[in-house]
Amino acid sequence: MIQLENVTKRFGGHLALDNLSLTIDKGEILGFLGPNGAGKSTTMNIITGYLSATQGSVKIDGVDILEQPEAVKKRIGYLPEIPPLYMDMTVYEYLKFVSKLKKVKNDTIDPSLQKIMNLVKITHVQGRLIRNLSKGYKQRVGLAQALVGDPEVLILDEPTVGLDPKEIIEIRSLIKDIGKKRTVILSSHILTEVSAVCDRVVIINKGRIVASGTPEELSKRLSYGNKQVLRVKAPQRDAVAALKEIPEVKSVTVDGSYEADTIDLIVEAKEDIDIREKVFSKLVENSYPLLMMKGMDLSLEEIFLQVTTAEKGENINADNIE
């Protein structure tokens, strides 16, 4: 549905996007993450046609945005971080104004707007001035304007920023409903939101994609077996002491006792080391039965930090992750 090929963007001497390639499937809800200045907004602005790439191409359903900009833009709805609202208009007046800007046929404007307002649950405030609405309702109006014209692609930049917990849950649910019939790109700093809503996550850092996949896939690929949960039939002190004798072990944490005469432990290895064999051998050496050993999945927050923190002065290569 959306295809970016070797997209590069320079602002003078600053390289904002570095040969970025990305494919987003039809009907997919994609979480687009990255630290401030990573190139997220630049990428979204290029997809919408607001900015042009220095090099590379962007196609929506096979149509190049530079060759047929009007045709492509009709397929895209965009909600920026600060919704583009006219505060002195009523909700309906504003959405009708947006409809005319998007060249929606006059005889279809009212029925289409009623459908959109029902979808985002703002029908009961359609006659109110936008300035008098709560932040949550203003966000809903912003989402409604993005849906005008029935676009196939929806790009949402921080759609729940500043909302209270109840409003966040409502907007998340709404995005999932909308995503059943559309391709959605969701940029957010709220990582739990991305985990709850998105089918796939792409993490960008310094203009390059450094990770792509579901949170579960990324967790498995990045854990390297260096955090293991064990259930050992042994006295706690003896089991901990034995495991700490392994040179590659960074730490051993007690996680409680869930079966009689056993102890659950979290064993963390030094960076990028798979310690499973050494742990097994050490417990056999001490005649401590190992009843369970499983990898501890990384949270999306841990994944984000791991792939965007250049501890060694360099980015993690996306080719090693995907």
> Mind giving me the DSSP string for 240-252?
HHHHHTSTTEEEE
CA distance 140 to 168: 11
pLDDT of residue 193: 80
What CATH number is given to the structural domain containing 120?
3.40.50.300
Per-residue pLDDT at 315 exceeds 60: no
Please, which pLDDT band fits residue 87 given cuts at 50, 70 and 90? very high
Per-residue pLDDT at 192 exceeds 50: yes
| 147's tokens | 């849906």
Return the H-helix or E-strand segment holding 176.
Answer: helix 165-178
The domain total for the chain is: 2
Domain presence at residue 312: no
Q: Which residue has the higher pLDDT, 10 or 181?
A: 10
Domain identity same for 209 and 116: yes
The arithmetic mean of pLDDT across residues 205-212, rounded, is 91
Domain identity same for 228 and 216: no
Domain boundary among 220, 253, 270: 220
Domain identity same for 54 and 200: yes
Domain identity same for 53 and 128: yes
Domain presence at residue 314: no
The arithmetic mean of pLDDT across residues 169-193, rounded, is 86
Please, which pLDDT band fits residue 86 given cuts at 50, 70 and 90? very high
Domain presence at residue 282: yes
Domain identity same for 262 and 193: no
Please, which pLDDT band fits residue 272 given cuts at 50, 70 and 90? low
Domain boundary among 220, 247, 272: 220
pLDDT of residue 169: 87
Task: Give me the sheet containing 14-24, strands edge to edge.
Answer: 14-24, 2-11, 55-60, 63-64
Average pLDDT, whole number, for the chain? 88
The arithmetic mean of pLDDT across residues 76-87, rounded, is 92
Per-residue pLDDT at 312 exceeds 50: no
Angle between helices 106-119 and 135-147 (to 10 degrees): 140
pLDDT of residue 167: 83
pLDDT of residue 224: 53
Query: What confidence tens digit (pLDDT) does each residue in 112-139 have?
Result: 999 999 989 999 999 999 999 998 899 9
Per-residue pLDDT at 190 exceeds 80: no
First to last CA, the chain: 20
Domain presence at residue 278: yes
Domain identity same for 110 and 239: no
CA distance 252 to 227: 10
Domain presence at residue 304: no
Domain presence at residue 301: no
Maximum Cα–Cα distance across the chain: 81
Please, which pLDDT band fits residue 269 given cuts at 50, 70 and 90? confident
Domain identity same for 230 and 203: no
Domain presence at residue 302: no
Domain identity same for 126 and 27: yes
Query: What confidence tens digit (pLDDT) does each residue in 43-60 have?
Result: 999 999 889 999 999 999
The CA-atom distances, in angstroms, between 166 and each of 173, 187, 192 are 11, 20, 15
Domain presence at residue 96: yes
CA distance 36 to 128: 36
pLDDT of residue 254: 94
Domain identity same for 195 and 244: no
What CATH number is given to the structural domain containing 273?
3.30.70.1340
Please, which pLDDT band fits residue 316 given cuts at 50, 70 and 90? very low
Domain identity same for 167 and 112: yes
Please, which pLDDT band fits residue 222 given cuts at 50, 70 and 90? low
Residue 60 lies in domain:
2-220
Domain identity same for 23 and 107: yes
Please, which pLDDT band fits residue 160 given cuts at 50, 70 and 90? confident
Domain identity same for 201 and 256: no
pLDDT of residue 284: 96
The arithmetic mean of pLDDT across residues 169-180, rounded, is 86
The arithmetic mean of pLDDT across residues 276-294, rounded, is 94
Per-residue pLDDT at 186 exceeds 90: yes
Domain boundary among 163, 193, 220: 220
